[in-house]
Chain A
Amino acid sequence: MRLTTALFLTLFLTMSAATAQEADSSLTVDSTFIAPPDVTPVMVKNLSARDNPNDAGGSILIKWDLSVDDIEGGKVTHYQILRAETSEGEFEEVGEVPSGNSQFIDNRADRGREFYYKVAAVNQRKQEGKLLWQVRSESALSGPVKSTAQWFDMRRLNVFVGMIILCGLIIIYINRAKSGKPIFIRKIAGLDAVEEAVGRATEMGKKIFFIPGISDMDNVQTLAGITILGKVAQMAAEYETWIEVPVSRSLVMVAAKEIVKEAYVKAGRPDAFHEDQVHYLTDDQFGYAAAIDGMFIREKPATVFFLGNFYAESLILAETGNSIGAIQIAGTGQQTQLPFFVAACDYTLIGEELFAASAYLSREPKLLGSLKGQDMGKAIILLALLAGIILESFNIFQLSQFFSVIE
């Protein structure tokens, strides 16, 4: 019964509005039409306003129960949220939400100031961008309320717990390794080949190139890459082979210089280090690729390392390196580029293997311990996957909810 009335009303209103519009089309002045009777919606109830939790302050969460007229084809078109700084003060609109919504977050509530809120249920009719009429009924007021900042984001508790477990495991195994317990690490072909590759360059009397990718020091893959540079440079220094590191970022140049210099010191040949072994080319992705391609062709290195973050230049470099017959060892965490390295290089460190490289090459107990810890984390994830999929498949428990991350 109600629905038919509403429908009828809507139809009537549309028609009357349309005719009114037509009759009025010569007028360009915006005029608000007198609203037909009985279109005012019932106001909302149970309005509540409180500090929006888990944030830095500055926002207030307003909730209400829908107006009884907020139904399909009903009298509510949208809600207006009104705010004032005193209970008797001037209320101004801070936002609106379409009908069917029962909450609003006011993001412009300065931290520590008191506010009062009201919500108005609005019924309005527009035609061709012109307001024909608007009626509204305001709710009772809610307040005062203040926004505050929190010291812990409870929504991220699961991430926190997960972090503690994973980092805890890694630290525990690092400490265990310090006590001298031997740790088994499986063979990683690409890393076993490093020494052979350096040796080959020595035999042939040619250069080694080390390309640390095109990202800057604010990328952890670059950090992983230049850590391996330390080990490779030390080997090269011991073998008395020239290692050259052309880079595309100035900060990486600074860090790589320090690392290579240190490697020469460790190898007992500090005087053999030359500043120009590490040099800058250009910050530009393809400019860098063009220059390195040229260097590859002209200087014909025997061995090339690509370790770091790479984008589209990966294949341009690796194919040119391949064409001159260099041994190429690549490693990156950039998934889109891994297939190209696999196709064009002799050995490729896939994802996690790149990050395991410094531990593998140095065989330092503490670093190996961290690998073991990270494997334990992996074991927990595998168990969770196994258990979770079974539980979810048979509708026993939804384990995935523990892993959901709120951004």
Chain B
Amino acid sequence: MRREIPLLITAIVGIFFVLQYFIPHPPFNRLNGWFSDWFSIIGACAIWLGALNLIRISADKIYRKRSDWGFSVVIILSFLLIVVIGFKEGRDFRNPGSGFDWLYNFIYTPLSATMFALLAFFVASASYRAFRARNLEASLLLVAAFLVMLGRVPVGDAIGVSLGLPETNISKVAVWIMNTINTAGQRAILIGIALGVVSTSLRIILGIERSYLGSE
């Protein structure tokens, strides 16, 4: 029973959500909107499980005095700090000038922007290591990346000119690659993904793929 009911729910709900695309009649026309609302609520409830899990594991680390347990204290304290401020400030917690907003601007934003900016370094180290003309496929990857990268900055065309090419040639080549070969490749991948998604979803609805339900 513990497995059959969930399987049944998945199958029925799945079929309903396929049908809603073709049936404009109420209530089918509202299913899509309902689901996104319901999912938002389910997600907002579930995050309590996640938060408790984070605190429990950090507390466990502190209790057992594992290595770096001090940083687990920091995790718990900073979590509590923003949560207490956020709840105390009420519905308008995000207004400019609130404590929550201050934490957002001076702690959260610089941290996530810098983490994001690390990509500049990683893009460089990844291209240094991976873009080697080992075989034909890797060479194609390399040449395409090379040309598009050059074509995106004014210096690229300047280099082209110094090699005797007419002006703006490299940027034109870059645009051509983006518009033709890139379009073709993206389309093939997109169609492939779509077929994979249809097949996977169908297996889930039919109950063939059921590992997400776990054990008895």
Contact = CB atoms under 8 A, between A and B. Distances in A.
- Report if A and B touch in the complex (beta carbons < 8 A): yes
Given A152-B23, A286-B111, A335-B190, A316 B197 contact: no
Interface stretch (B47-55, B156-164, B170-178): B47-55
Given A250-B47, A281-B54, A344 B199 contact: no
A374 B126 contact: no
A254 B6 CA distance: 15
Nearest to B185: A335
A316 B209 contact: no
B209 A255 contact: no
A287 B112 contact: yes
Contacts of B98: none
A255 B49 CA distance: 12
A312 B198 CA distance: 26
Contacts of B131: 343
The DSSP consensus for interface residues of chain A is helix
B111 A287 contact: yes
Contacts of B25: 56-57, 149-151
Interface in B1-31: 18, 21-26, 29
A230 B211 contact: yes
A257 to B, nearest CB: 8
A315 B126 contact: yes
Interface residues of A, number: 81
Contacts of B81: none
B196 A149 contact: no
A316 B141 CA distance: 20
Contacts of A265: 215
Given A153-B24, A255-B212, A367-B208, A170 B198 contact: yes
A335 B184 CA distance: 13
Given A261-B214, A335-B186, A335-B190, A367 B209 contact: yes
A273 to B, nearest CB: 10
Given A56-B29, A279-B57, A258 B212 contact: yes
Contact of B53 (A216, A259, A279, A283): A279
B57 A258 contact: no
User: Which are the 10 A-B pairs with shortest beta-carbon distances?
Assistant: A258-B214, A355-B196, A250-B50, A352-B192, A280-B50, A286-B115, A250-B46, A343-B130, A230-B211, A352-B196
Interface of B: 18, 21-26, 29, 39, 42-43, 46-51, 53-54, 57, 60, 68, 111-112, 115-116, 118-119, 122-123, 125-127, 129-131, 141, 186, 189-193, 195-204, 206, 208-209, 211-215
12 contacts: A149-B26, A159-B21, A170-B198, A250-B50, A254-B46, A258-B212, A285-B112, A322-B126, A351-B189, A355-B193, A355-B197, A370-B203
